[in-house]
Amino acid sequence: MSGLRWRTIASALGVALALVWIMPNFMNLSEVSWWPSKQKLNYGLDIQGGLHLVMGVDVDGVVKESTNRLVTSIRAEAQKEQLPVTEVKAERPEQGEIVFTVASADSLAAVEKFLESKYGTVLQELSRTGNSITVRYYDAYLTDYKNRVIQQSIETIRNRIDEFGVAEPSIAQQGESRILIQLPGMADAERAKELINTTAKLDFMIVSNEMPPTELQAKIAEAEKAGNYTMATMKYSEYIARLNEDLKSQLPAKTIVYFEKSANAVNLEAGAIPMLLRTDTDLGGDALDDAFVGYDQYGAPQVSLQFNAAGGQKFSDLTGNNVNRQMAIVLDRVVKSAPNIQGRISGGSAVITLGGGRDRNQMIEEAKMISTALRAGALPASLEQLEERRVGPTLGADSIDKAKIASYLSAAIVILFMLVYYKGMGVIASVSILINLMCMFALLTTLGATLTLPGIAAVALTIGFAVDANVLINERIKDELRMGHSVTSAVQEGYHRALSAIIDSNVTTAATAIVLLYFGTGPVRGFAVNLIIGVVTTMFANVFVSKVLTDTLVHKFGAKKLSI
Domain architecture of the chain: domains with CATH: 3-48+393-556 (1.20.1640.10), 60-141 (3.30.1360), 199-383 (3.30.1360.200)
pLDDT of 449 strictly over 90 = no
For the entire predicted model, the pTM comes to 0.54
Could you tell me the CA-to-CA distances from 213 to 231, 257, 330 in Å, in that order?
Answer: 18, 11, 18
Q: Confidence class of residue 399 from pLDDT cuts 50, 70 and 90?
A: low
pLDDT recorded at residue 80: 79
C-alpha Rg value of the chain to the nearest Å: 31
pLDDT recorded at residue 149: 83
pLDDT recorded at residue 306: 82
Tens of pLDDT, residues 2-47? 677 888 899 999 999 999 888 888 887 766 777 777 778 877 777 7
Give the DSSP H/E element, type plus range, for residue 84.
Answer: none
Please tell me the distance from the alpha carbon of residue 90 to that of residue 77, in angstroms, as a whole number: 16
Mean pLDDT, residues 178-206: 73
Please tell me the distance from the alpha carbon of residue 208 to that of residue 328, in angstroms, as a whole number: 10
Q: Is the backbone of residue 409 left (phi > 0), alpha (psi -120 to 50) or beta? A: alpha
pLDDT recorded at residue 255: 92
Please tell me the distance from the alpha carbon of residue 14 to that of residue 438, in angstroms, as a whole number: 11
Contact 552, 482 (CB under 8 A): no
pLDDT recorded at residue 160: 65
DSSP code for 302: E
pLDDT recorded at residue 538: 92
More confidently predicted of 345 and 467: 467
For residue 73, give the amino acid letter. S
For residue 448, give the amino acid letter. G
pLDDT recorded at residue 1: 41
pLDDT of 361 strictly over 90 = no
pLDDT recorded at residue 507: 92
pLDDT recorded at residue 164: 59
State the alpha helices, DSSP H only, in 201-281: 213-227, 236-246
pLDDT recorded at residue 162: 65
| Angle CA 77–79–80, to nearest 5 | 60
Please tell me the distance from the alpha carbon of residue 133 to that of residue 232, in angstroms, as a whole number: 59
Q: Confidence class of residue 218 from pLDDT cuts 50, 70 and 90?
A: very high
Please tell me the distance from the alpha carbon of residue 402 to that of residue 409, in angstroms, as a whole number: 10
Mean pLDDT, residues 492-515: 90
Sequence-separated contacts (24+) of 184-189 with Cβ below 8 Å = 184/42, 184/43, 184/44, 184/45, 184/47, 184/48, 184/49, 184/50, 184/450, 185/48, 185/49, 185/50, 186/50, 186/51, 188/164, 189/51, 189/388, 189/390
Q: Confidence class of residue 397 from pLDDT cuts 50, 70 and 90?
A: low
Tens of pLDDT, residues 320-345? 888 889 988 887 788 877 888 888 88
More confidently predicted of 195 and 147: 147
Instruction: Taking the CA atoms of 184, 265, 206 and 303 in sequence, report the sign of the dihedral they define.
Output: negative
pLDDT recorded at residue 382: 67
The mean pLDDT value of the chain amounts to 82
pLDDT recorded at residue 369: 66
Please tell me the distance from the alpha carbon of residue 88 to that of residue 261, in angstroms, as a whole number: 45
Mean pLDDT, residues 145-165: 75
Q: Confidence class of residue 378 from pLDDT cuts 50, 70 and 90?
A: very low
Spatial CB neighbours of 194, under 8 Å, sequence gap ≥ 6: none
Contact 543, 435 (CB under 8 A): no
More confidently predicted of 34 and 314: 314
Mean pLDDT, residues 193-208: 74
For residue 336, give the amino acid letter. K
Neighbour-count burial of 200, counting CB atoms closer than 10 A to its CB (0-12 exposed, 13-18 middle, 19+ buried): buried
More confidently predicted of 372 and 74: 74
Please tell me the distance from the alpha carbon of residue 78 to that of residue 111, in angstroms, as a whole number: 9
pLDDT recorded at residue 379: 42
| Angle CA 139–288–353, to nearest 5 | 85
pLDDT recorded at residue 532: 92
Q: Confidence class of residue 167 from pLDDT cuts 50, 70 and 90?
A: low
More confidently predicted of 310 and 180: 180
